[in-house]
């Protein structure tokens, strides 16, 4: 990291923990320095104008205005730099993020379902298949409405507020919402995406450092918006398997017990996922 990159840290950006994040950081770094230069330049110009065109020196208005071409050249260069930033860096990077998804088999696919005021996670469980979801099955104990009669959904894992992923494996998060527009934002992964009711919006990232990271909602979605803060835990593959196993054992206990599965009947309906009081 060059000393120029310290500007991101100075402005409060958490360290990057994803494989593509450094590209985002380079653009942010450049933008921050560029905006800093513009701020100083325009401020200096403003002060110059205040002094140069003060009333004592300029008692009557000059209707001809500016005669030098400096300001035109300056403004043209600013537009040029901004165009290069947008067309040369921002749009190509964005296009890469939305067009070049990792193959589904290689990636971990997780459904992120936002609601006021938390993020629910739906994982396919050991069989690798998501169970069907229907709004008709939604209840307190089955927040995502996983169909209890669908065999693919029997081992599905549903968690609230906390997601575990293995390090160095691409993660595809499919975002949707149960109520209003939210925005699933992983600052350390340098990725965010809107969760919009009626839409399924995929985003992807590859975590490269184990640790616990912040998940926040980046759309002001209601009074309990602040309470949507959650955690993303990037595990070593062994730790991730252990978490998955633990969750898989609890799976099925959150949906209404189907006939033929009496073992789960007396278990508490929701795993101890410690939902934070949304507010």
Closer of 175 and 217 to Cu ion (Cβ) = 217
In the complex, minimum distance from the CB of residue 160 to Cu ion, in angstroms, rounded to a whole number = 14
Closer of 112 and 217 to Cu ion (Cβ) = 217
Closer of 222 and 269 to Cu ion (Cβ) = 222
In the complex, minimum distance from the CB of residue 96 to Cu ion, in angstroms, rounded to a whole number = 27
In the complex, minimum distance from the CB of residue 229 to Cu ion, in angstroms, rounded to a whole number = 10
Closer of 158 and 228 to Cu ion (Cβ) = 228
In the complex, minimum distance from the CB of residue 217 to Cu ion, in angstroms, rounded to a whole number = 3
Closer of 113 and 228 to Cu ion (Cβ) = 228
- Residue 81, CA atoms < 13 Å, CB-side half-sphere: 13
Tokens of 158: 């549903």
Rounded to whole angstroms, the Cα distance separating 266 from 279 reads 30
Enumerate binding residues for Cu ion (CB under 5 A).
Answer: 182, 217, 221, 228
Closer of 182 and 247 to Cu ion (Cβ) = 182
Rounded to whole angstroms, the Cα distance separating 230 from 118 reads 8
Q: Do residues 218 and 229 lie in contact, with contact meaning Cβ atoms separated by under 8 Å?
A: no
């Amino acid at each position: 990291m060059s000393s120029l990159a310290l500007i991101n840290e100075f402005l409060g950006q958490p360290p990057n923990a994803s494989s593509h994040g450094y590209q985002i950081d380079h653009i942010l770094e450049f933008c921050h320095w560029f905006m800093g230069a513009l701020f100083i330049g325009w401020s200096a110009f403003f002060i110059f104008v205040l002094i140069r065109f003060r009333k004592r020196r300029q008692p009557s208005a000059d209707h001809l205005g500016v005669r030098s071409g400096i300001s035109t050249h300056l403004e043209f260069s600013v537009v040029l730099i901004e165009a290069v930033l947008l067309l040369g860096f921002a749009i190509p990077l964005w296009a890469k993020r939305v067009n070049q998804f990792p193959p589904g088999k290689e990636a971990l696919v997780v459904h992120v379902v936002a609601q006021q005021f938390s993020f629910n996670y739906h994982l396919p469980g050991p069989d690798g298949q998501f169970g069907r979801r229907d709004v008709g099955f939604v209840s307190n104990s089955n927040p995502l409405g996983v169909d209890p009669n669908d065999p693919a959904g029997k081992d599905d894992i549903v968690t609230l507020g906390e997601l575990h992923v293995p390090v160095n494996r691409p993660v595809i998060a499919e975002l949707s919402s149960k109520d209003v527009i939210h925005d699933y934002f992983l600052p350390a992964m340098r990725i965010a995406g809107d969760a919009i009711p009626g839409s399924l919006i995929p985003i992807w990232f590859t975590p490269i450092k184990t640790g616990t990271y912040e998940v926040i909602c980046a759309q002001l979605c209601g009074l309990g918006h602040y309470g949507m803060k959650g955690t993303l835990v990037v595990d070593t593959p062994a730790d991730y398997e252990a978490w998955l196993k633990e969750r898989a054992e609890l799976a099925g206990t959150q949906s209404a017990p189907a006939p033929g599965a009496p073992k789960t009947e007396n278990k508490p309906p929701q795993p101890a996922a410690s939902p934070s009081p949304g507010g």
